[in-house]
With several copies, the nearest count.
Chain A
């Protein structure tokens, strides 16, 4: 089981979610985060003082999937979140040792 983490541009959420649903992925958890990377925030101005905003709003999707799905999921995210412009984000894959569904107590793939 793996935890696939995708950091994407906020307005790409619907596309990515659609693609994942098509793969049969039924769940994910999304957080609003601030990203720091090659894409720089625009220069802002406040009371006559300019400043570079280092952080750009992103959405972080955490999706736990069975090992067999990892590749497809990553691929679906990459192809649906890409705009080709700097700041499109990353997909990371982490090991996940177990999952439990709180409602039923089911564990393993059945919990997803």
Chain B
């Protein structure tokens, strides 16, 4: 920070255009060039600022995941899930810098895997030709990978060792997520096939969801969750934290979807982002209300936890294509997402797959639904291709994360001893309890 900073306006660069005599008459061409330079500068700033401001909002989702999960796990595992959330975010970001980005954005390619090197480092200066600061783009991409990892942590909470989980985060953020990401956003084979996934219903949320599903199956349910063919609810520690987390995620999602427009530097882009914001809001709202109504009809009471999941479900559902100009469509898409939540929660319980926070219904099921919805509601995209994307990415992620979990399991086992699990991971893994005052 400096005092009395020199006043450097936009268009400083445009000055160089007029090398010739200042008093000469200007032609239309010269003038267009001069204005284009100025507007190019301005667009560069807008686009860069979009990446940064929206990326920061997405980053804050990490706090949302932390609070949501802390609210949904039992008190004896709260400190552990907090630590997992703040460290997974740190680790995912570092790994994405070291390895992941190079895999996900390998430059021109249209195949399955490519690679542009370790330790992402763009030129230091402002590359005007790109239209945005490359580092701002990196920042925005980086915050996405942490989201995928956060999805996993909630599902497998309360019964996985800290360092094993973090090992999984390393593999997910360095390799697995970037590979499928490269297929579409990196310009790989899927992008060629006219698959569409605007901000990542499939590429981010379903990938996280599949990883979580495979993890939940391999690790198994928490002790006492399914006994004698009965589901025993293991209520979480704090509904205020879970609700706060949901609000923060909702907030962060505007960065997620809005920033995925990737440009703010023209009225068309700004207007598109406005539509995206409206879509994002109203789909979540519809998801919330729909989940509440289903809960009221199914149980005669409203289940707050399902309403919170309904918000997330509505958000994930619209993420694949939040660009409708008729808001009835996102209302419908979100509402269906909200309806899917209670039913898939029940289905998982029937299958004895223990998902502590409901991440699989919200991120995987609604991720699939949202991706399909693009095929239904947009004229330009077909259900077939959308299915192709869903299935190919799903298949790859299931196999890859299956291997990852398997390999990590070799190092002393993913799961703590029964006794440690019973005592809670805060005692056995961390040695610090969530509310440690009188203990």
Contact = CB atoms under 8 A, between A and B. Distances in A.
Direct contact of A and B (CB under 8 A): yes
Interface of A: 11, 32, 34, 41-51, 53, 55, 57
Contacts of B298: 48
**List of 9 A-B pairs having minimum Cβ-Cβ separation, nearest first:** A46-B233, A45-B431, A49-B233, A44-B431, A48-B345, A46-B235, A49-B231, A47-B305, A51-B233
B303 A34 contact: no
Which DSSP category, helix, strand, loop or mixed, fits chain A's interface? Answer: strand
B221 to A, nearest CB: 13
Nearest to B345: A48
Given A48-B345, A49-B349, A51-B232, A42 B427 contact: yes
B439 A45 contact: no
A84 B298 CA distance: 34
A11 B422 contact: yes
B303 A46 contact: yes
Nearest to B231: A49
B438 A45 contact: no
B306 A32 contact: no
A72 B433 CA distance: 36
Q: Which has the most chain B C-beta neighbours within 10 Å: A11, A34, A46?
A: A46
Given A11-B422, A51-B232, A51-B233, A46 B436 contact: yes
Contacts, number: 60
Contacts of A11: 224, 422
B358 interface: yes
B299 interface: yes
A57 B233 CA distance: 19
Given A11-B422, A51-B233, A46 B305 contact: yes
Contact of A44 (B295, B346, B433): B433
Given A42-B428, A46-B233, A48-B342, A53 B305 contact: no
Q: Which has the most chain A C-beta neighbours within 10 Å: B224, B295, B342, B439?
A: B439
Contacts of B299: 45, 48, 50
Q: Which has the most chain B C-beta neighbours within 10 Å: A32, A44, A50?
A: A44
Q: Which has the most chain A C-beta neighbours within 10 Å: B236, B301, B438?
A: B438
10 contacts: A11-B422, A32-B438, A44-B233, A44-B432, A46-B305, A47-B358, A48-B345, A48-B349, A49-B231, A50-B299
B423 interface: yes
Given A42-B423, A44-B431, A48-B346, A34 B233 contact: no
A11 B421 CA distance: 12
A45 B423 contact: no
A45 B342 contact: no
Contacts of B439: 34, 41, 44, 53, 55, 57
A55 B436 CA distance: 12
Contacts of B232: 49, 51
B432 A34 contact: no
A44 B306 contact: no
Contacts of A48: 295, 298-299, 303, 306, 342, 345-346, 349
Nearest to B302: A45
Given A45-B295, A46-B233, A48-B299, 14 more contacts: A42-B428, A44-B431, A45-B430, A45-B432, A46-B236, A46-B305, A47-B345, A48-B342, A48-B349, A49-B231, A51-B232, A51-B233, A53-B439, A57-B439
A79 B114 CA distance: 63
